[in-house]
Amino acid sequence: MITSTGWIIITGILVAVSCALVGTFLVLRKMSLMGDAISHAVLPGIVIAFLLTAGRNTFPMLIGAGIFGLFTVWLTEELSKKGRIFHDASMGIVFTTLFAIGVILISLFAGNVDIDQECVLYGEIAYVPWDLWIWQGTNMGPRPVWILGMVLIINITFITSMYKELKTYSFSPQLATTLGLPVTLIHYGLMGTVSFTTIASFESVGAILVVALLIVPPATAYLLTDRLHRLLLLSAFFGITSAIGGYYLAWWINSSIAGAIAVLTGIQFALVFLLSPKYGLLGRKFRGQVRYKSAEDTILQKETTFM
């Protein structure tokens, strides 16, 4: 039998690996904060599904949240394309508005339903072992583990089957278009998996900390390798180490597990940032290679960013 400690750690690992895999492409596409936006904007979707089905049925919630996730991506792009608004500003407008609608919905119906705002924001991975899935009288183990396991399988299938498309698209959407690759499918496929991953991770680590797991492990791995497949594996590895380490850190200092996991991703990043042989600060300083991106570089990059 797996102990409750075991279930918590398994959940943490599933969340961390799912997030690290899709997060890698967000980081490479320079859309890191899209994960942040999606994780907040799905709130009204969850609440609406909750109210419609009058219960904590996971599938309607996943679907409701998935719809709002893609809606956020679409609306952000339409606003910045059609209106005179920069992409990041447009994202800020869309996700805060949707999140606020979710908050209002919760407070309006808080009497009837039990969605805990704290839980939405910070999650509570420690409750996972008691959230059991009873199927035809049999105890199948914790429900989040099944859902997260499914999401991880979806993510791995998506990335391995569309690997060359995802690679080309994240390298240059423009190039992917001229090569005749299905750019829209790739884009919304990626955003769809980000939405699902975020939502499934939500209950365990909450809307804010999921962003740490989406972005920090890939950013850490990015400092260590310059091959995409190694980047994906290393991101997953850093996700796993922070999930396991986070649990024991929380146990040691008697604090929130999700918080400890996120803190560990940060510590790992800081260490790698300093010590990475190739791209670490110390290594480069030693070789006299530290160079800061000039304003010109940044502007060029902005101008040539496509979509």
Partner 1 sequence: MDNVDQKQAALTGKGRPAVPASSHNPPIEVHDLTVAYDQKPVLWDIDFELPGGSLTAIVGPNGAGKSTLVKAIMGLIPSSSGYTLINGKPLDKQRKNVAYVPQRESVDWDFPISVMDVVLMGRYPHLRLFQRPSRHDREVTMNALREMGMDEYHKRQISQLSGGQQQRVFLARALAQDASIYIMDEPLAGVDAATEDVIFQKMKELQSQNKTVVVVHHDLQSVPDNFNWVMLLNLRMIACGPVSSTFTDENLQKTYGGRLNILSQMIEQSRKQRFVRESDA
Binding site for partner 1 (CB under 8 A): 28, 30, 84, 161-165, 167-168, 170-172, 174-175, 177-182, 222, 225-228, 230-231, 300-301, 304, 306
Q: What are 211's two structure tokens? A: 């962003």
For partner 1, the closer of residues 193 and 201 by Cβ is 193
Query: Cα–Cα distance between 235 and 190 in angstroms, integer?
Result: 17
Query: Cα–Cα distance between 107 and 109 in angstroms, integer?
Result: 6
CA–CA–CA angle 14, 261, 210 (5° rounding): 65
For partner 1, the closer of residues 89 and 110 by Cβ is 89
The nearest distance, CB 16 to partner 1, in angstroms, is 20
The nearest distance, CB 171 to partner 1, in angstroms, is 5
Q: What are 256's two structure tokens? A: 């929130």
For partner 1, the closer of residues 89 and 300 by Cβ is 300
The nearest distance, CB 66 to partner 1, in angstroms, is 22
Contacts of 95 (CB under 8 A, 6+ apart): 36, 37, 38, 40, 41, 72, 76
C-alpha separations of 132 from 116, 127, 138 in Å: 19, 10, 10
The nearest distance, CB 184 to partner 1, in angstroms, is 13
The nearest distance, CB 158 to partner 1, in angstroms, is 11
Query: Cα–Cα distance between 183 and 171 in angstroms, integer?
Result: 12
Residue 138's DSSP bridge partners are: 135
For partner 1, the closer of residues 100 and 290 by Cβ is 290
From the list 174, 209, 47, the residue with the least C-alpha distance to 115 is 47
For partner 1, the closer of residues 141 and 280 by Cβ is 280
